Amino acid sequence: MTIGKIESWRKAWQQLIHEASPFAVVRGENNTPEFSKAPFRLVDALQAGREFGEKPFVLWEGQNYTYGEFYTKSDKLTAALQKDLAVQAGDRVAIAMRNRPAWMISCMAAVQSGAVPVPINSWSAAEELVYAIQDCGAKVVFCDPQRYELLKDLASDVTVIVTDEASLREGDRSWNSMLNYAATDAVLATPEAHDPALILYTSGTTGQAKGVLSSNKAVCQALYALDFQGALAYMTSEERVKPLLESGLQPTMLLAYPMFHVSGLLSQFMSALRSGRRLVIMYKWDVDNAIDTIRDEKITQFAGVPMMMQQLIHSDRFATSDTDTLFALGLGGSGAPRALLSKLLESKPMALSGNGYGMTESNGICSAQGGNQFVEFPESAGWPLPIAEVVIGETPQASVPVGTSGPIWLRTSALMDGYWNKPEDTREVMQDGWFFTGDVGYLDEHGMLYITDRIKDIIIRGGENISAVEVEHCACEHPAVEEAAVFSLPDDNFGEQVAMVVYAIKPLTQEDLTAFMAERLAHYKLPAQLWFSEAPLARNATGKILKAQVKKEFSGV
């Protein structure tokens, strides 16, 4: 790695944020960096796609929509919300369904009407669905028939709109009946920059999910940051962009993230809508179905959680002509093991690959990298984006030296306003405009961010701090190990001990795995207890391992 390469990347970065650039950055409110030319209304930011007219936009289960058709239906539904249901500015409109075009149209209509869309985890049980709808005070709920069955006991003052044929409660509506209004009857909302724009519920791997409330300005800043990162990757990795441009294909993304997750919503749906990309929706993740779709629909881009990427690139079909059109790959959602990163770079050496780090509370924004920068620093999460400031330390006022790990604090113009109706929870994570991420990491001498663990996943054995992520990644380097979950258990002598559950795809003994890990880890970091799972480990809808559930299942604790 030469300093010259890093300097060339920095030069491109500075060109992009120059005052004459569309991505000009200034110090805004509370001295926080922001894109000065970004729109401040989400409804305005999402009108950019209208210029793409009859260009294909979304495909799902045989349903095809052009950009024009998408906006026409969105406008009709906007008019229905305003005229039929009297939806007002600031009303909450929940969306409880699996990924499909109706999800996108419902979200767009909510934004255009001035309401606050509230995407809800479609994997949730009835109690969790009802909790989120009641917690946010939704006036309207869009859902599919599967979710409608779980909402039969919902209060009658909430109107439910069902996408497909169903036996309706009195006062509820069918999807088709809401599309009878004229598109020209829709009146686009004109909110202020700090008016609420979005409530996203945290994934809730432990405890009850919290509603993350963001303003119009914050969501727009996040969308602009995604545009910036794409422009930077193109400027610094022209040779990786060239094959896609020469192919003549419309940039087409395989959408496997759920859209109730910040990555599916902002990084894929809304970002694609603004840029003219096509989306092909998977109803449910399946690696063979994914490769069939990549081949048949000429998918050019795929981004997913490490579990999806691992299954994809380890498939026997990945290195065949079935994936010839796949020019870009992205990772997100959780940290990726070194073995996966190496396999990714080996499998598609000229792809425009990348990764990043963010959270629901920052609308997915913190750091990112792509192309040549990712190739040189694959284990990094990249540079903090121009509107993101990162401090490593016990407080944002007391940073630790370069290269030293510690708690990660984030300040950004894309940050949430707070947790919905939870001021105490908000105060626990906010300090003078800085957000306490709950993650551990460090900044290297080039200013790149590395994520080493979650604070709650640090195991303290006899006074020594052990990273659960480090132990998991070590286990996953073994070719037989598909996934691993590491957690602490009580120990009479050391306070805590390391325990691990592994799912192996080939025969493997405890002795062989321990010996493999002992060559790579200090002895005190090795699992004192080890279990083998006969099935893949339990995960939530966004692909994160449910450690509390796995821990209880195998250890009983």
CATH number of the domain that residue 286 is part of = 3.40.50.12780
Answer yes or no: is 328 within a domain: yes
Say if residue 94 is in the same domain as residue 8: no
Q: Judge contact between 392 and 411, C-beta under 8 A.
A: no
CA distances from 203 to 53, 104, 176, 537 (A): 35, 20, 31, 17
Q: Residue 11: how many CB atoms within 10 A of its CB?
A: 12
Residues 6 or more apart whose Cβ sits within 8 Å of residue 127? none
Residues 6 or more apart whose Cβ sits within 8 Å of residue 388? 33, 225, 362, 365, 366, 367, 410, 411, 412, 414
Q: Is the pTM of this model over 0.85?
A: yes
Answer yes or no: is 482 within a domain: yes
Say if residue 283 is in the same domain as residue 386: yes
Say if residue 359 is in the same domain as residue 447: yes
3-state secondary structure of 277: coil
Backbone angles phi, psi at 212, to 5 degrees: -95, 115
Residues in a beta bridge with 94: 118, 141
Say if residue 294 is in the same domain as residue 317: yes
Residue 457 confidence (pLDDT):
83
Q: Has residue 339 got a pLDDT over 90?
A: no
Express each pLDDT in 262-306 by its tens digit: 999 999 999 999 999 999 999 888 999 999 999 999 999 999 888
CATH number of the domain that residue 167 is part of = 3.40.50.980
> Helices 238-247 and 216-236 meet at what angle, rounded to 10?
100
Amino acid identity at 323:
T
Which of 36-40, 176-180, 199-203 is predicted with the least confidence, judged by mean pLDDT? Answer: 199-203
Express each pLDDT in 438-449 by its tens digit: 999 999 999 999
Q: Has residue 184 got a pLDDT over 70?
A: yes
Residues 6 or more apart whose Cβ sits within 8 Å of residue 114? 43, 87, 88, 89, 90, 91, 189, 190, 191
Express each pLDDT in 342-400 by its tens digit: 888 888 889 999 999 999 999 999 999 999 999 999 999 999 999 999 999 999 999 99
Residue that finishes a domain, picked among 453, 476, 496: 453
Q: Has residue 544 got a pLDDT over 90?
A: no
Strands 398-399 and 383-384: unpaired
Answer yes or no: is 201 within a domain: no
Answer yes or no: is 192 within a domain: no
Give the mean pLDDT of 418-438: 95
DSSP symbols for 164-192 = S---PPTT-EETGGGG-S-GGG-------
Residue 333 confidence (pLDDT):
58
The range of the structural domain enclosing residue 526 comes to 462-555
Terminal CA-CA length for the chain: 47
Residue 207 confidence (pLDDT):
57
Say if residue 523 is in the same domain as residue 447: no
Answer yes or no: is 253 within a domain: yes
Residues 6 or more apart whose Cβ sits within 8 Å of residue 45? 38, 39, 219, 220, 223, 270, 274
Q: What percent of the chain has pLDDT over 70?
A: 98
Query: Looking at the 3D structure of the chain, how many domains does it have?
Result: 3
In the chain, DSSP finds a helix count (H) and a strand count (E) of 18, 30
Residues in a beta bridge with 453: 440
Residues 6 or more apart whose Cβ sits within 8 Å of residue 122? 96, 97, 98, 144, 147, 258, 260, 541
Say if residue 269 is in the same domain as residue 339: yes
Say if residue 21 is in the same domain as residue 109: no
Say if residue 429 is in the same domain as residue 506: no
Answer yes or no: is 205 within a domain: no
Residue 142 confidence (pLDDT):
98
**pLDDT tier, 454 (very low <50, low <70, confident <90, very high otherwise):** confident
Say if residue 23 is in the same domain as residue 131: no
Backbone angles phi, psi at 472, to 5 degrees: -60, -45
Residue that finishes a domain, picked among 166, 187, 208: 187
In whole angstroms, give the CA distance from residue 366 to residue 386: 9
CA 279 to chain centre: 16
In whole angstroms, give the CA distance from residue 194 to residue 216: 6
Residue 365 confidence (pLDDT):
97
**pLDDT tier, 205 (very low <50, low <70, confident <90, very high otherwise):** very low
**pLDDT tier, 9 (very low <50, low <70, confident <90, very high otherwise):** very high
Q: Which of 441, 486, 481 is nearest to 466 (CA)?
A: 486
Say if residue 232 is in the same domain as residue 336: yes
Answer yes or no: is 199 within a domain: no
Q: Which of 267, 242, 478, 240 is nearest to 375 (CA)?
A: 240
Residue 469 confidence (pLDDT):
86
Q: Has residue 308 got a pLDDT over 80?
A: yes
Answer yes or no: is 98 within a domain: yes
Residue that finishes a domain, picked among 401, 433, 453: 453
Average pLDDT, whole number, for the chain?
93
Say if residue 418 is in the same domain as residue 294: yes
Give the mean pLDDT of 455-470: 83
Residues in a beta bridge with 467: 458
Express each pLDDT in 13-49 by its tens digit: 999 999 999 999 999 988 999 999 999 999 999 999 9
Say if residue 287 is in the same domain as residue 430: yes
CATH number of the domain that residue 481 is part of = 3.30.300.30
Q: Judge contact between 24 and 18, C-beta under 8 A.
A: yes
Residue 419 confidence (pLDDT):
97
3-state secondary structure of 531: strand
In whole angstroms, give the CA distance from residue 342 to residue 71: 42
Q: What percent of the chain has pLDDT over 90?
A: 80
